[in-house]
Amino acid sequence: MYKQSSIKSLTIEEVVEIIGDMPQEENGLHIHFSKSRFKEIPIGYPFRANAFTFILIIKGELRLQINLLNYTINKFEIIAINQQMVTHAQEMSKNLEIVTISFNIDFILRNSINKNDIDTLDFFTAISIPKLKLSKENFKAFISVAKILEQNNRLAKNNPYNKEKITHSFNLLMYHYASLLKRQFPNIEENLTRQEKLALRFLKLLNENFKQERTVQFYADILCLTPGYLSKVLKHISKKTASELIEEAVIMEAKLLLKNQTLSISEIANELQFSDQSFFGKYFKKHTGYSPSKFREINFKS
């Protein structure tokens, strides 16, 4: 088993460069059709991308390990991978042809998708990693919209109404996927257990409040639970306690902010609402083993 610290995190731009594709116009969105077959798997190591990714198999077979679980995706099948998952492509057929649609949270928020829908998708994929089988008709429809989205995303930004075309074709693609998901898993929300619903509520609260509130008591009070019971439920569902999830959210945000070289450590401490830079530094080092400045130096050298 590989160590958590050895898992490389890749941006959409880095993945695009590795697979040999050209950058597209809209930041935070990339659509890739495998026009020429790969001789070998482009990314042959476990990695975590900073984006949601849909992988649709046009032809052939792809074997993936996602969060240490093995999946085989065949022709006319699509799988959703969220930005927290560790993905390792392990084997592919010689005739493999795929389309991937990758997009990050910033793109979603800029393009009129309901954030709550994305939070829900994030939670469901984190639990079950839905793999959907498309009919020939649904496959053709999905590919058609994906091609339109790709074509628009390769056009120059000054092309009339291009941003609007990207937004609407992206939304259409997302609703097409949501429709497929609902039809194949009609009771997915209703079938959540009480504990899973509670975990989902906590994750949404955490997403909204982690910069201001870092105590388990705060979230337990809102959910009308004891801190101990909340942590017990979260440990059962996510394998992490409430404190661990809170710390993970804060540290992940800190790492993202440290990537921005224009922000000083003091400004980042202020953004995350620590009392001062020193306290932030101690908190960050406790959870990562590095001071913020050292972490920035090691990971984000210009």
The pLDDT assigned to 2 comes to: 39
What pLDDT score does 231 carry? Answer: 95
Mean pLDDT of all residues in 178-192: 76
Taking CA atoms, 249 is separated from 5, 66, 140, in Å, by 17, 21, 39
Q: Average pLDDT in the 205-220 region?
A: 92
The model's pLDDT over 72-126, given as tens digits with 9 standing for 90+, comes to 999 999 999 887 678 889 899 989 999 999 998 778 767 755 555 655 565 555 5
Quick one: pLDDT at residue 113? 57
3 pLDDT band, cuts 50/70/90, is very low
CATH code, residues 194-299: 1.10.10.60
The C-alpha atoms of residue 154 and residue 104 are separated, in whole angstroms, by: 18
Greatest mean pLDDT among 51-55, 86-90, 189-193 lies in: 51-55
Mean pLDDT over each residue of the chain, to the nearest integer: 85
The CATH code for residues 4-184 is 2.60.120.280
Query: How many C-beta atoms surround the C-beta of residue 1 within 10 A?
Result: 4
pTM above 0.85, yes or no: no
Provide the pairing of β-strand 69-74 with 77-81.
unpaired
Q: Which of 127, 125, 62 is nearest to 99 (CA)?
A: 62
Query: How many CB atoms neighbour CB 266 within 10 A?
Result: 14
Please say whether the beta carbons of 268 and 258 come within 8 A: yes
Query: What is the distance between the alpha carbons of residues 135 and 76, in angstroms, rounded to a whole number?
Result: 7
156 has pLDDT over 50: yes
More confident position, 5 or 85: 85
**Which amino acid type is present at position 247?**
E
Tokens representing residue 32 in the block = 């890739």
Dist. CA 162–CA 169, nearest whole Å:
11
Q: In the chain, where does the domain assigned CATH 2.60.120.280 lie?
A: 4-184
Of 5-9, 135-139, 200-204, 221-225, the least confident? 5-9
Residues of the chain with CATH 1.10.10.60: 194-299
Q: Percent of the chain at pLDDT above 70?
A: 86
Q: Report pLDDT for 117.
A: 60
Residue 14 pLDDT > 60: yes
Handedness of CA 255, 256, 257, 259 (dihedral sign): positive
pLDDT at 286 over 50: yes
- 181, 167 Cβ separation under 8 angstroms: no
What's the rounded mean pLDDT across residues 214-232? 96
Helix 242-259 / helix 277-288 crossing angle, nearest 10 deg: 110
Choice between 122 and 29, residue whose per-residue pLDDT is larger? 29
Tell me if 211 sits within 8 A of 273, measured CB to CB.
yes
What percent of the chain has pLDDT above 90? 42
- For residue range 126-146, list pLDDT tens digits in order: 556 678 999 999 999 999 999
Would you state the pLDDT for residue 126?
56
Question: H helices within the chain, ranges in order?
Answer: 12-19, 105-110, 115-128, 136-153, 162-184, 194-209, 216-222, 227-238, 242-259, 265-271, 277-288, 292-299
pLDDT in the model for residue 6: 46
- Encode pLDDT of 32-43 as tens digits: 998 666 677 888
